[in-house]
Structure 1
Amino acid sequence: MPLSEHEQRLLEQMERALYAEDPKFATALEGTGLRTYTRRRVYLAAVGFVVGIGLLMGGMVAQIVPVSVIGFLVMLGCAVLVVTGWKRVPRGGGDGSRPAPAARRRAGMMDRIEQRWQRRRDEQQGP
């Protein structure tokens, strides 16, 4: 669920205050975000995919069927991790604080729906 504009402003203010108070600590925290974790996971899964290819080919050359099957399963599992992990990489700013354009459109639509609801409630209550 994306943050509202008010929550985003508050978060940005807190980040600026953290940088002003302790820039060394803020810089140390910067690289530990979701984006860094997800990228690392995707890269490890890609390496696992290559290892799976190696197992598959090695099992085929040595004519050891269980090794080939294990290699195929490793490839399949790593491919799934790469695809699902790549979709989860946050878009926008380097820290992932800005939502993707589609998320911003949804947030805008939800804001409009909420405003309409409030207007209808206010109209029904009357003066």
Structure 2
Amino acid sequence: MPLSEQEQRLLEEMERSLYHNDADFVASVSARRGKPSYSAVVLGILLAVAGVAVLITGVAVRLPIVGVLGFVMMFAGVFIAVTPPRRGGRVSSAPSSTARPSFMQTLGQRWEKRQHDHEE
């Protein structure tokens, strides 16, 4: 059963609203996440491996404090490796005019163009 003109307009308006809200959400979430710092990942892995070695040494020499220190080192290494780097200042969700558009922005532009072409 085909939709009436009013229902089609309402559906298109709902789609635009949904897309606009989701695009803003995706842009704000993706702007907060930085690219991984490879030096931090390497440092974290090395610290975690050293922590495993200290933990095994603590068990071998039967000193619980050394084992706990090894566990703390492992935990810190993993935390450093998986935590995204912090950026200085506030992160803006508005795209920079000099930066290349993100994947989501490109999809949004294509969607808007299709909607505009479809209306004509």
Q: Where on the TM-score scale, by shorter chain, does this alignment land: which range?
A: 0.3 to 0.5
- Asked which structure has the greater CA Rg, the reply is 2
Structure whose residues are more often helix by fraction: 1
